[in-house]
Amino acid sequence: MRSTILQTATRYLLPILLLFSVFLLLRGHYYPGGGFVGGLVASIAFVLHSFANGAEASMKIMRRKPLSLIPIGLGLSMFSIIIPTFFGYPPMTGLWLEEKFPVIGSVGTALFFDIGVYLVVVGVVLTILFTISLNQD
């Protein structure tokens, strides 16, 4: 039995929580936050949606299995770690573009590393939770 109140609330909370997770992701360059915290908030948004509407409905919204986000995130993080070596710097050295972008600010390898961590966290958390949820039904 699904709660109508929870279903209605999650209809509005899902986009707000996802937007907040992106804010935390982008804020992580200068202040606390980043890929891990942003990924956890995004995962919580989908978990809340799955509580209200079922795991199948949440999987439909994602349009791909969360397991596929893990190698994409790992690849992006590895790319950001290795790219400085092509410029003669040690791995994990932060490289930044000269110009700043509106809303985002400075773009560099740290942002790509954070995005990779974000995708890995979302992929791992949702894979575990959806696997548990779908096996119980």
Each residue's pLDDT expressed in tens, for the chain with a length of 137 residues: 788 999 999 999 999 999 999 999 988 866 777 899 999 999 999 999 999 998 888 989 988 899 999 999 999 999 999 999 999 999 999 898 889 888 787 888 989 999 999 999 999 999 999 898 877 75
Handedness of CA 46, 44, 94, 74 (dihedral sign): negative
**Whole-prediction pTM:** 0.90
Query: Can you tell me the distance from the alpha carbon of 10 to that of 30, in angstroms, rounded to the nearest whole number?
Result: 30
